[in-house]
Structures are given as C-alpha cells and as structure tokens.
Amino acid sequence: MLELIDEASRVLRTPPPEFDFENPPEDPKEIEKNLATAMEQFGGIGLSANQVGLNYRVFVMRTADKGIVAFFNPEITKVSQDTDLMKEGCLSFPDLYLMIKRSKEIEFKYQDAEGEEHTLYLNGLGARCVQHECDHLNGILFLQRASRLKLERALKVRPKERRKRIEYEQRMAYARAIAERESNQNAEPDNGTGIEESDSVVQESQAS
C-alpha cells in the first residue's frame, strides 16, 4: 500500500520526469489503480505520484463523470486572468490550511493511462485541483503560494486544527462502532440470557 512521504522530504520539491509511454517503467493502469486507492484511503480529491514517493509525472483526481482518473504528463496551456481566493489543504501537510489565489478557469493537456492525448477545459474546484496537483509535479508546494504572514498564522493554529481533526475522527469511530454493534445485534440470535455481551470496541471508544 502506498504511503504519504514526510512533508520535509526533498521528493516533494523535485519535479519528476515525463512518463515515457514508449518504454513505461511500470504499467500505467496499475499506477492509476494504486494512486486512486491511496487517494481514497487518505480522503483526498487529488493526489500526485511524488506525494507517495513515485517518480512519475502523473496525478489522479476525482471527476464528476468518470470517477477517479489519472492524468499523465499534464501541462496547463491556458489560464484565465479571473482569479478567486479559497482555502486549500494538502494531504502532504495535514492540518495546515491556507487561502490561495488561483485562476478560475484553465485549459490543460494530458495523456490518459492508454497514452492517448487529450485537452480539457475546467473551471471551479476542478481547475483549482489541477493547478494544485500540477504544482506538486513541478516541485512547488502550496505553502509557496501564500504570503509569509499567512503561513505563519496557519502554522500557529495547526495544533488546534490537529486536535479538531482527531476529535472528529474519534467521534466518527465511535459512531461506526455503535452502528456495527446494532447491526450485529440485529443479525445475531438472542443468547437466551437477556444480557448483552460486551463490545470492547465501543468501550475503548468511550474511554478515549
């Protein structure tokens, strides 16, 4: 299973080479599948190969019509002068959020997992996600898109954001445990004693 590399790694700051479809170092369809699985596991809407230590110029992104798709050798060819400012996060920098200005509309070309070339026009969140991921593939971190003052403020509140995330994850784990317990009770016959058997997962969640 692919894992996110450390945020201090030079890999995040080093652009990977073009993916060679004439002599592929790995099956591009497997790369697409593995990156898509990792993106879902980490809870992202986009993920670049170098974020998980793969030295390939490719990222995956969730699309409205085709699910999670891989974009090999992407290149942004046009950007609108019209921009907007939105809060961004990054899987490589958990619990760090910054207001980033990006173009509202873009045009970019790429190759799919078959090596076929395409040109795509996007606006809104899709355009922002592509710009973020192309930055990754160019060795640019979203931290570099923010002012020093904004970055310092974000770093200052990062521990608070981390606590909020952990508390949320604990609540979700507790809710899942309760749901699983109720499902098991509905599925299993009564043991005849009228006494419920203990559920260690729920107990541990309550204690945390």
Domain residue ranges in the chain: 10-146, 148-187+200-208
Contact 69, 58 (CB under 8 A): no
Q: Which of 133, 169, 197, 204 is catalytic?
A: 133
Backbone φ, ψ for residue 157 (5° rounding):
-95, 0
C-alpha span between 165 and 169 (Å, rounded): 6
Nearest Cα to Cα of residue 132 among 73, 48, 58, 69: 48
Write down the pTM of the prediction.
0.82
Backbone φ, ψ for residue 133 (5° rounding):
-70, -35
Q: Is residue 182 flagged as an active site residue?
A: no
Q: What is the CATH number of domain 10-146?
A: 3.90.45.10
Helices (H), the chain: 28-42, 124-137, 148-187, 200-207
Q: pLDDT tens track of the chain, all 208 residues? A: 899 999 999 999 999 999 999 999 999 999 999 999 999 999 999 999 999 999 999 999 999 889 999 999 999 999 999 999 999 999 999 999 999 999 999 999 999 999 999 999 999 999 999 999 999 999 999 999 999 999 999 999 999 999 998 998 899 888 989 988 888 888 765 544 443 443 433 333 333 3
